[in-house]
């Protein structure tokens, strides 16, 4: 194996850059400013390039291969997004600049707000939240403020289907709600009887993901929303799966009161290690006053000679600021670019492509894998990763074996209501050939599971590291690099 740290290739006196002779007088730094000399690797430029290139190849990314991580919408991030986000007028503005010097940035934020409203059917929006989970937190705080404002402080029950993403109960509990689970019926929809049985005068709302985490459109969605509204509750839409609905269904039109977007899922801004997220929250009319402040608004309407003058406005009963400055502006530029590149017609094609790809892939593998709920899926589907004929094999083994075939594993063990879940989301950006190659790998693995189970049990075989202790990696995180003893 090659060297693991850059210190191991360090050689005394070797340098990457030679500075010209100093042409100003040298001064001793005051003693109070002198820090302990840190150990530095002594390497050439080529050493550095090879070292970091080698490390970068150890990672799997959407730019290197198929990444069907269900619920995460790991679509390709077009490179033009990076070009626009780096334009100096966007990249070099300071968040404390006076508003008359950042009119272009505010115009972009205002138009992005407008487009997201048009896409979703809501009436008001904040771009501040830093991620989907943060958007949920903001959403449930708004729901709480709404009920409190009406003198209904008793409404502290948040209903959450048992298929929900873990962030839903977490956001609710953090905002002081009691989390009440709602069952899923045999068709993968919210169980209406279960919902009715927990709807009473203490209900604050329901957090609903549509399509849900089984990848299925909530067939009774209008009835579900009606039941919750009838009980005086609000419906929160978890918008993580909006990719399946773009240009086809608007959550606001369905009667959903409030919803977060994940710009890093639906609108292609980088995801995971690639950059910060962005989780705007849209609301219907009756919740606009509670939005976090400030919001970008038009201070002076456009005239014949001048474009509109933008500034920040404060909603009347705002829950307050929930993020430093105005959120992750660079992500807004990327999402804005993505939406403009697709345009009005293209937006709908995203959803159509995502749903078609998922159904095609499901059709290719369903003879050898049990589909959790047999229905046409939306943008993703869930398989059960186990067979009675291969009793030792678990979803985890299938996931690890896929890495040997050069694919990122799908999400596993979520949603929790499916045994040995493998949740697969191909997205619209993958080609037919890629889907077929992935299906081939899954089918081969199904055969291996029966004939050569050891291959799965010991997988992955070709990756730089094998099976990790994921709990230890999360709980015992080592963030600083290794420093050799002799340099300490
Ligand atoms: C990704 C996701 C979330 C949380 O979004 P983050 O941006 O990761 O915080 C919530 N719900 C569902 C269904 C998701 O897929």
DSSP 25-64: ---PPPGGGPPPPPP-----HHHHHHHHHHHHHHS--TTT
- Testing ligand 1's pocket by substitution, the residue of 133, 210, 260 carrying the most ligand atoms inside 8 A of its CB is 133
Does ligand 1 lie within 6 Å of residue 165's CB atom? yes
Does ligand 1 lie within 6 Å of residue 70's CB atom? no
Please provide the DSSP assignment of 267-324 as one string.
T----GGGS-----EEE-GGGGGGS-S-EEEEEE---SSSPPEEEEE--TT-----SS
pLDDT tens for the chain, residues 1 to 488: 455 678 888 999 999 988 899 999 999 999 999 888 888 899 999 999 999 999 888 889 999 999 999 999 999 999 999 999 999 999 999 999 999 999 999 999 999 999 999 999 999 999 999 999 999 999 999 999 999 999 999 999 999 999 999 999 999 999 999 999 999 999 999 999 999 999 999 999 999 999 999 999 999 999 999 999 999 999 999 999 999 999 999 999 999 999 999 999 999 999 866 569 999 999 999 999 999 999 999 999 999 999 999 999 999 999 999 999 999 999 999 999 999 999 999 999 999 999 999 999 999 999 999 999 999 999 999 999 999 999 999 999 999 999 999 999 999 999 999 999 999 999 999 999 999 999 999 999 999 999 999 999 999 999 988 898 888 988 988 776 655 555 54
Does ligand 1 lie within 6 Å of residue 277's CB atom? yes
- Testing ligand 1's pocket by substitution, the residue of 171, 238, 251 carrying the most ligand atoms inside 8 A of its CB is 238
Question: How close is the Cα of 278 to the center of ligand 1, in Å?
Answer: 11
| CA-closest residue to ligand 1 atom 3 | 132
Which atom of ligand 1 approaches the CA of 279 most closely?
7
Question: How close is the Cα of 167 to the center of ligand 1, in Å?
Answer: 7
Which atom of ligand 1 approaches the CA of 134 most closely?
9
Measuring CA to CA, which residue among 106, 9, 110, 109 is closest to residue 51?
Answer: 9
pLDDT of residue 473: 83
| CA-closest residue to ligand 1 atom 8 | 132
> By the 8 A CB rule, do 481 and 55 touch?
no
Does ligand 1 lie within 6 Å of residue 238's CB atom? yes
pLDDT of residue 469: 87
- 298 — phi, psi (to 5°)? -90, 120
Question: How close is the Cα of 133 to the center of ligand 1, in Å?
Answer: 6
Measuring CA to CA, which residue among 359, 348, 378 is closest to residue 189?
Answer: 378
Name the pairing type of β-strands 370-371 and 411-412: unpaired
Does ligand 1 lie within 6 Å of residue 213's CB atom? yes
- Tell me the CA distances in angstroms from 46 to 14, 19, 52, 54, 295, one per residue in order: 11, 17, 10, 12, 48
pLDDT of residue 142: 98
Question: How close is the Cα of 262 to the center of ligand 1, in Å?
Answer: 7
Terminal-to-terminal C-alpha distance of the chain: 25
Measuring CA to CA, which residue among 2, 44, 1, 4 is closest to residue 482?
Answer: 4
Please state at what angle helix 103-120 crosses helix 329-365, rounded to 10 degrees.
Answer: 30
Please provide the DSSP assignment of 128-174 as one string.
--SSHHHHHHHHHHHHHHHHHHTT-TT--EEEEETTS-THHHHHHHH
Q: What is the pTM of this model?
A: 0.92
Question: How close is the Cα of 272 to the center of ligand 1, in Å?
Answer: 11
Which atom of ligand 1 approaches the CA of 133 most closely?
9
| CA-closest residue to ligand 1 atom 11 | 165
Name the pairing type of β-strands 381-384 and 370-371: antiparallel
SS3 452: coil
Q: How far is CA 291 from the centre of its chain?
A: 22
Instruction: Encode 183-208: b = buried (16+ Cβ within 10 Å), e = exposed.
Output: bbeeebbbbeebbeebbeebbbbbbb
Cα pseudo-dihedral 264, 275, 283, 143, rounded to 10: 120
Identify the CATH class of 80-340: alpha beta
Measuring CA to CA, which residue among 85, 51, 83 is closest to residue 332?
Answer: 85
Does ligand 1 lie within 6 Å of residue 189's CB atom? no
Task: Please tell me what DSSP assigns to residue 104.
Answer: H
Say which residue the tokens 């002198």 belong to.
34
Question: How close is the Cα of 222 to the center of ligand 1, in Å?
Answer: 23
Does ligand 1 lie within 6 Å of residue 208's CB atom? no
SS3 101: helix
- Testing ligand 1's pocket by substitution, the residue of 72, 75, 163, 167 carrying the most ligand atoms inside 8 A of its CB is 167
Which atom of ligand 1 approaches the CA of 71 most closely?
15
Give the domain ranges of the chain. 80-340
Say which residue the tokens 């989970």 belong to.
133
Question: How close is the Cα of 418 to the center of ligand 1, in Å?
Answer: 18
Instruction: Encode 349-376: b = buried (16+ Cβ within 10 Å), e = exposed.
Output: ebbebbbbbbbebbebbeebbebbbebe
Angle CA 399–187–445, to nearest 5? 20
- Tell me the CA distances in angstroms from 434 to 65, 402, 426, one per residue in order: 9, 14, 9
Does ligand 1 lie within 6 Å of residue 212's CB atom? no
3-state helix, strand, coil in the chain (%, to 5): 40, 10, 50
**Tokens standing for residue 85:** 């986000």
Whether omega for the bond prior to residue 294 falls within 30 degrees of 0, making it cis, is: yes
Does ligand 1 lie within 6 Å of residue 209's CB atom? yes
> By the 8 A CB rule, do 466 and 419 touch?
no
**Tokens standing for residue 285:** 């009319």
Name the pairing type of β-strands 157-161 and 258-260: unpaired
Does ligand 1 lie within 6 Å of residue 132's CB atom? yes
Does ligand 1 lie within 6 Å of residue 171's CB atom? no
The residue count of the chain comes to 488
Say which residue the tokens 């709404």 belong to.
146
Cα Dmax for the chain: 82
């Amino acid at each position: 194996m090659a060297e693991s740290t850059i210190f191991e290739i360090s050689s005394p006196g070797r340098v990457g850059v030679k500075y010209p002779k100093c042409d100003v007088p040298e001064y001793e730094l005051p003693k109070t400013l002198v820090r302990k000399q840190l150990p530095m690797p002594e390497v050439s430029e080529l050493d550095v390039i090879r070292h970091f290139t080698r490390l970068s190849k150890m990672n799997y990314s959407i730019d290197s291969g198929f990444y069907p991580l269900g619920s995460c919408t790991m679509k390709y991030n077009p490179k033009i997004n990076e070009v626009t986000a780096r334009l100096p007028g966007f990249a070099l503005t300071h968040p404390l600049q006076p508003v008359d010097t950042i009119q272009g940035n505010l115009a972009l934020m205002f138009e992005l707000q407008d487009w997201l409203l048009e896409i979703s059917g809501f009436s008001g929006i904040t771009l501040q939240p830093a991620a989907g989970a943060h958007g949920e937190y903001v959403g449930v705080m708004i729901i709480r403020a709404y009920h409190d404002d009406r003198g209904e402080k008793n409404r502290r029950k948040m209903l959450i289907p048992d298929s929900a993403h873990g962030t839903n109960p977490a956001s609710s509990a953090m905002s002081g709600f009691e989390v009440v689970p709602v069952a899923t019926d045999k068709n993968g929809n919210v169980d209406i009887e279960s919902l009715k049985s927990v709807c009473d005068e203490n209900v604050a709302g329901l957090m609903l993901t549509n399509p849900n985490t089984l990848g299925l459109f909530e067939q009774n969605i209008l009835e579900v929303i009606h039941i919750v509204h009838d009980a005086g509750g609000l419906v929160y839409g978890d918008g993580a799966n909006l990719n399946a609905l773009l240009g086809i269904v608007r959550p606001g039109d369905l009667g959903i009161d409030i919803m977060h977007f994940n710009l890093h899922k639906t609108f292609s801004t980088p995801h995971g290690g690639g950059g910060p997220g962005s989780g705007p929250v849209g609301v219907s009319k009756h919740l606009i006053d509670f939005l976090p402040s400030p919001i970008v608004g038009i201070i002076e309407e456009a005239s014949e000679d001048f474009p509109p003058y933008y500034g920040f406005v404060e909603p009347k009963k705002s829950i307050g600021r929930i993020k430093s400055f105005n959120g992750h502006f660079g992500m807004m530029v990327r999402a804005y670019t993505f939406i403009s590149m697709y345009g009005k017609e293209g937006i709908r094609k995203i959803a159509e492509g995502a749903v078609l790809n998922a159904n095609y892939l499901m059709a290719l593998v369903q003879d050898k894998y049990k589909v959790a709920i047999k229905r046409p899926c939306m943008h993703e589907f869930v398989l059960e990763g186990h067979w009675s004929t291969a009793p030792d094999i678990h979803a985890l083994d299938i996931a690890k074996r896929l890495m040997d075939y050069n694919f990122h594993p799908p999400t596993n063990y979520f949603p929790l209501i499916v045994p040995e879940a493998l949740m697969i989301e191909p997205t619209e950006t993958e080609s037919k050939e890629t889907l077929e190659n992935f299906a081939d790998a899954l089918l081969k693995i199904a055969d291996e599971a029966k004939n050569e189970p050891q291959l799965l049990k010991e997988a992955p075989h070709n990756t730089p590291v094998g099976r990790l202790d994921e709990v230890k990696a999360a709980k015992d995180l080592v963030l600083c690099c290794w420093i050799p003893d002799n340099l300490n």
